[in-house]
A and B are shown apart, each in its own frame.
Chain A
Amino acid sequence: MNRADQEAYRRDYAQAKKEGKPFYPYAIYKDHVVAVLVFAGIIGMAIWQRVGVGPPVYSATSTFEPRPEWYFYFLFQLLKIFKNQTALVPVIMATFVIPNVLMVLLLATPFIDRRAERRISKRPFALSVAILAFMGMAWLTYQGETGATPTVGATTIPFTGITPGSAAAAGETVYLTEGCSSCHMVKGVGGQVGPNLTTIGTAGKSATYSGKLPVPVPGATGPTYSGANWFVLHTECPTCAKPGSSMPAFASLSATDLQNLATFLNGLGTTYK
């Protein structure tokens, strides 16, 4: 908008105000009508759709999806789309570039669109952008709502050497359902909060710990824990196996799950690749 446009707008708006009505009561009553309707909607939903509590953290339930609130679905969906691409389109696009570009565009809207015209019928470009943005968000949200686990964690890892039905296969299932891959990467799948576990079986871990294990596992009796037993100890009590470890403890798994998981982890990089 140039100077003349701005002056014209100010003059026009002053005129609108002069011919206008006082804020109280004309606008304020409408405001309150709508606010009361919104409140009624909120209370109605709270009564109609009771908010529940899911299982507690680390309970041994095998089915849970680390889903965010619905208004973040579009971001998670974006991540999922980019995760399935080749290395040419890194995940950074979805986690960083796109959200930040969108945020900057949002903040800068008034400085990008500086034309004087305000009637939407005369702003076809702005209208298209609005419709596209809305449809895009709605579509991604819908996909995120109906799609499978939209996380950095994984649902399968492409392994060789794991026979279906074996202890290692059961261990892999525990690994995936407990959300280990939210934090750990194995063969390029998973998050990066914790160390990469692709070859953890070759690390020759051992520790001495003379306390009692939260979940007694047959065969894993201290004080020296090495091989698969170290993984049992570490999963139940990370700080016992690695003093100062910041990994959360998984002390509510069953003894069988722990054993299977340990078998799987202990073979990573050697038997299971």
Chain B
Amino acid sequence: MSTTDIGPKGSATKAGGAVVGHVDHRTGATTGIGWFLKRNIPGETSWFQTLGFAAMAVFGLQAVTGIVLAMYYKPDPTTAYGSIRHITNDVTWGWLVRGMHKWGASAMIIVVFLHMARVFIFGSYKYPRELTWVTGALLLIMVMFMGLTGYLLVWDQKAYWATVVAMNITASAPIIGPYIADILRGGTTFNSDTLSRFYAIHMLVIPGGIATFIGLHLFLVSKLGISEPPWSKRSTRARRAEEAAARAAARQRGPRGRHEVTVDPEPQTLTAEAGQ
């Protein structure tokens, strides 16, 4: 930390600096965070490129509201329904926290879906970001499973039967279907352990998976850099310049000349546009 070099340092500032320096010396934390924050990204990024961060923020919100709900929720067939009522009707702000968790789940699906749509439209899944896409797609599937497992926890008529039917559908899949359904239900049918099993999956297993994959996803995003919108002014300018150079080279070497251009990124586009 060199920001306090100007002027006399207070002892508190010095002590703080020493602690930060100590930690950084051993972990590289400030250096790493500094690199992360100050690294360059392309100059023209679109507002649509904020959706991944929004998805992450909503995941954080779900984690916080979920923890608060877990403080009052009782994952047992005889008490679950009552505890949800209690949260909704009695606990101070309980209705709000539950409402935020419920609406947050829908928002998460929408935001993740829009994020995926933007990645698709921008062609951002192409080289070198293929694996970023794969980790993202796995995240989408896990987010859907959060919805499936969370729905049952309310233990009301609608959620219960919807989940019974969903398990039913799972079990009807060939070969491994019955096994997966048995694992999810904790038995060959819906039983009194199914609820606590769904609870464990909903609040421990999948969130762990999502957190891990968000980590991988972000590692890839920051390592590879966020993509530039394909229609950015800079890339259009670069493409024009390259095309002009290619045309000039083509003129120089004549129609039957030797092919001397070493880099020819988009041959089809070039011929198409050269003919215009």
Identify the A interface with B (CB < 8 A). 1, 4-10, 12-13, 15-24, 26-28, 30-35, 38-39, 41-43, 45-47, 49-59, 61, 64-72, 79, 91-92, 95-96, 103, 106-107, 109-111, 113-120, 122-123, 126-127, 130, 134, 151-153, 179, 182-183, 191-194, 246-248
The CA of A20 and the CA of B265, in the complex, are separated in Å by: 22
Interface string of B225-247 (1 = CB under 8 A from A): 11110111011001000000000
Complexed CA–CA distance, A248 and B156 (Å): 14
Q: Report how far A4 CA is from B81 CA in the complex, Å.
A: 61
Q: How far is the CB of A120 from chain B (nearest CB, A)?
A: 5
30 pairs, CB–CB < 8 Å, chain A vs chain B: A7-B263, A9-B128, A16-B234, A21-B41, A26-B41, A27-B41, A32-B53, A42-B100, A51-B103, A57-B77, A57-B155, A65-B158, A66-B158, A68-B165, A79-B169, A96-B177, A106-B137, A107-B134, A109-B133, A110-B134, A115-B126, A117-B123, A117-B266, A119-B123, A119-B231, A130-B120, A182-B164, A191-B168, A192-B172, A247-B189
Q: Does B142 contact A (CB under 8 A)?
A: no
- Complex contact B81–A41 (CB within 8 A): no
Residue among A7, A55, A65, A118 making CB contact with B123, cutoff 8 Å: A118
Asked if A23 and B99 make an inter-chain contact with CB atoms under 8 angstroms apart, the answer reads: no
Q: Are B266 and A116 closer than 8 Å at their CB atoms?
A: yes
Q: Are B50 and A109 in contact (CB under 8 A)?
A: no
CB distance from A174 to the nearest CB of B (A): 15
- List residues of chain B with CB under 8 Å of any chain A CB: 36-43, 45, 47, 49-51, 53-54, 57-58, 61, 77, 81, 84-85, 88, 95-96, 98-100, 102-107, 109, 111, 117, 120-130, 133-134, 137-138, 140-141, 144, 147-148, 151, 154-169, 171-174, 177, 187-191, 225-228, 230-232, 234-235, 238, 263-266, 269
Partner of A51, one of B58, B95, B162, B177: B95
Task: Tell me, rounded to whole Å, the shortest Cβ–Cβ distance linking A54 to chain B.
Answer: 4
The listed residue (A39, A51, A57, A58) touching B102 by CB distance below 8 A is: A51
Cβ–Cβ < 8 Å partners of B269 in chain A: 117, 122
A6-B127, A193-B167 given; A179·B264 CB < 8 A: no
- B36, A46: Cβ atoms under 8 Å? no
Q: Is the CB of B122 within 8 A of A118?
A: yes
Complex contact B165–A182 (CB within 8 A): yes
By secondary structure, the A interface counts as helix
Question: Judging by beta carbons under 8 Å apart, are B157 and A107 in contact?
Answer: no
Q: Which of the residues A39, A115, A179 comes within 8 Å of B57, measured between beta carbons? A: A39
- A118 & B230 in contact (Cβ 8 Å cutoff): yes
Given A16-B234, A17-B42, A110-B130, is A153 in contact with B165 using a C-beta cutoff of 8 Å?
Answer: yes
Residue of A nearest to B154 (CB): A53
Contact check, B42 vs A47: say whether CB atoms are below 8 A apart. Answer: no
Q: Which residues of A contact B263 (CB under 8 A)?
A: 4, 7-8
Q: How far is the CB of B231 from chain A (nearest CB, A)?
A: 6
Which chain A residue has the least Cβ–Cβ distance from B127?
A1
Chain A residues near B41: list those with CB within 8 A: 17, 20-23, 26-27
**In the complex, which residue of chain A has the Cβ closest to the Cβ of B56?**
A35
Whether A24 and B37, one on each chain, are in contact in the complex, defined by CB atoms closer than 8 angstroms, is: yes
With A17-B40, A34-B47, A110-B129 as given contacts, are A67 and B158 in contact (CB-CB < 8 Å)? yes
Tell me if A68 and B117 are in contact (CB < 8 A): no
B126 touches A47 (CB 8 A): no
Assess whether B98 is in contact with A57, with CB atoms less than 8 Å apart: no
- Residues from chain B with a CB closer than 8 A to the CB of A18 are 40
